[in-house]
Amino acid sequence: MPGKAPLLVSCPHCGKEHPWDTSNRFRPFCCERCKLIDLGRWANEDYRVAQPVEEQEFTE
């Protein structure tokens, strides 16, 4: 019985397919460059986590 083929995943930044392997320390990204670009986007607040809109109580 031959060995299993590694699971291929797409890099969240560039879309390049790469094997999901524990030796890739940049998972889920394909490389350090893609990981740092994504981190920079979070730092620049290009990405945001949505919050539900709550109705505010207005006092008169």
Q: Could you tell me where the DSSP H helices lie in the chain?
A: 32-43
Which superfamily is assigned to 8-43 in CATH? Erythroid Transcription Factor GATA-1, subunit A (3.30.50.10)
| 2 pLDDT more than 90 | no
Q: What is the pLDDT of residues 9-60, one digit of tens each?
A: 999 999 999 999 888 899 999 999 999 999 999 999 998 888 777 766 656 5
Question: CB-based contacts of 31: which residues, under 8 Å, 6+ apart?
Answer: 11
pLDDT of residue 59: 61
Q: What is the pLDDT of residues 15-25, one digit of tens each?
A: 999 999 888 89
